[in-house]
Chain A
Amino acid sequence: MKTDPTFWLLARASGLTAYVLLTSSVVAGLTVKAKPLGRRIKAAAATDVHRFLALLGLGAVAAHGLVLTLDQTVKMPPVGLLVPGLSPYRPLAVGVGVVAAELMVLIYASFSLRRRIGARNWRRLHYLTFGVFAVATVHGLAAGTDRWAFGLYAGSVALVAGLTAWRILMKGGTSDVPHRNRPVAV
C-alpha cells in the first residue's frame, strides 16, 4: 500500500514555516535596537511584532512536531519530541532540532518571568536566541530534505548576521550599561 504523503508534506511545510517565522522574529528583535530604518519604526511596535512572530514560530514548531508523530515516513515517536536523539531518522540532526525548540520555549516563557529572574538575567538568557537560530539552521540543513531550501537558509543567515553586525557597529548592542552612582538632581 502506498504511504499517504500528507503528513510528510505538512511536516516539511511546517518546519520551513517555523524557520521563516524564527528568522522574522530574530530580525524584528534586532530591529528594536539596531534601528536600520532610523526612527520610522517605533521601538515598542518592533517589540510587539518581535514577540508575536516568536509566538507564531512556536505554533509552527508545535505543528511541525505533531505532524511528524503522525507521519509514516520518519516514524517519530511522541517522546522523541521531548527527548533529543530518539528519532529513528537522522537522530542527531533531529535531536538538535528538539533542543532548539525547547530553548525557544524557555526564551519565550522567560519574558513573563523577567521580573522574577531579574532584568539582567533575562537579557543574558535572551542572547541564547542566537544559539537557537544557529542550531535551527543546522537542523534544517541536516534533517531537511528540500534541497531548494538551501537558499532560504543562506539568505536568513546572511540577514541575521548582517543586522547583528549593524547593531554591534551602531553600538546599540550591549545593554549592560554600568550603574553609575550619580547624585539625583534636585
Chain B
Amino acid sequence: MYRIEIDRSLCSGMASCVKIAPDTFDLDDDGIAIVAGDAGEGAIEAAECCPFAAITVFDQANGTRIV
C-alpha cells in the first residue's frame, strides 16, 4: 500500500524510524536506514519523525507522495 524511499545521503542513522516502525525499517551495516519489511501505517509516522527528512512515503496505488 505504501512505497518508501530513503535518501541515503540524508540518513544519519538516528534510528527514529526503526523505533517507530520496527517491522518496516532497519539499519544496515553502515548504520543507514533500509526498508526491511512491509510498509504499514507506522511508515508515515516514521517518515514524519525522521530528523533529516530522509524518508519519503508514496501511495502505492496512484504514486502520490504522502510524506
Binding site for B on A (CB under 8 A): 32-33, 35, 39, 42-44, 46-47, 114-115, 118-120, 122-123, 171-172, 175-177, 179-180, 182, 184-185
Contact = CB atoms under 8 A, between A and B. Distances in A.
Interface string B13-42: 111101100000011111110011110000
Contact of A175 (B14, B37, B52): B14
B51 A114 contact: no
A118 B48 contact: no
B12 A114 contact: yes
B48 A43 contact: yes
Contacts of B19: 171-172, 177
Nearest to A39: B48
Contact of A43 (B9, B16, B30): B16
17 contacts: A33-B16, A39-B49, A44-B51, A44-B53, A47-B51, A118-B30, A119-B32, A122-B12, A123-B12, A172-B16, A172-B19, A175-B14, A177-B18, A177-B19, A179-B28, A184-B36, A184-B37
Majority secondary structure, B binding face: loop
A49 B6 CA distance: 22
Contacts of A182: 26, 36-37
Nearest to A183: B36
Contacts of A115: 9
A120 B31 contact: yes
Contacts, number: 66
Contacts of A118: 30-31
A47 B50 CA distance: 10
Contacts of A114: 12
Nearest to B39: A185
Contacts of A44: 50-53
A127 to B, nearest CB: 13
Ranked 6 nearest A-B pairs via Cβ: A119-B13, A44-B53, A119-B31, A177-B15, A120-B31, A43-B51
